[in-house]
Amino acid sequence: MVQSCTLLSCTTKGKESLRRIEDFDSHTGSVSFATPETWSVCGSGEICCSKVHADEGYSVFGGKGIEINMWDLEKTSKIWSAKSPQANNLGIFTPTCFTSLTFLSNDDHRKVVAGTKNHQVFLKQHLTNVVFDSNFSNEETTITIDPHKHEIHVSNEEQFQNEEDALPVKRKKASKGKIEAKKEKSKKVKKVKDEVHVEE
């Protein structure tokens, strides 16, 4: 049986490699590689996470000291960079450290959900240069998207779980009973007890 595929790899220093396997015979074990395309996705910092969109045309990267940036894999060019996270409620800015990334929808590469080491989850949207961040601070360590692509499930090693309704951004359930915040058009929700901050 002969198969073909494309492999995308990235080092912690941001060296990206797109290698196409033109011919792979599982019976004989022979592999034929095309010349790989290589480029750098960051000038400094450390890549900690990345995700390829379902259509395999786009990929996002983030890490320690690196803001989330999106690349067009066909053109090997950066098409968008997210803005920096805001300072905390004490006015202290902590250097970025994204630890997990996923796309919100298989049908739209413009919406990305990201988690940080500072227990924050951001919903970032790239659409005609409009970006908004939704900051849910509640001890998150892992994030995933539900099959209907409307909810963000967040959990940690202590098995607490939150569900965030991403369209619109609204907290549905919090394990520690924290208050609810909603995002509506033309409105801005300021910081509340659970440090939810949503802007449009």
4 pLDDT band, cuts 50/70/90, is low
Burial status of residue 123 (CB atoms within 10 A of its CB: 0-12, 13-18, 19 or more): buried
Q: Which of 28, 24, 34, 29 is nearest to 4 (CA)?
A: 24
Who wins on pLDDT, 142 or 160? 142
Phi, psi of 35, rounded to the nearest 5 degrees = -65, 125
Who wins on pLDDT, 135 or 166? 135
What pLDDT is recorded for position 3?
A: 61
Asked if residues 72 and 93 have their Cβ atoms less than 8 Å apart, the reply is: no
Domains, the chain, in order of start with CATH, read 1-40 (no CATH), 44-198 (2.130.10.10)
Entry pTM: 0.62
**pLDDT tens string 83-123:** 766 666 677 776 778 888 888 888 889 888 888 887 777 77
Phi, psi of 195, rounded to the nearest 5 degrees = 60, 35
Q: Which of 140, 132, 136 is nearest to 159 (CA)?
A: 140
**pLDDT tens string 151-172:** 555 544 443 344 444 444 444 4
Please, which residues bridge with residue 116 across strands?
Answer: 98
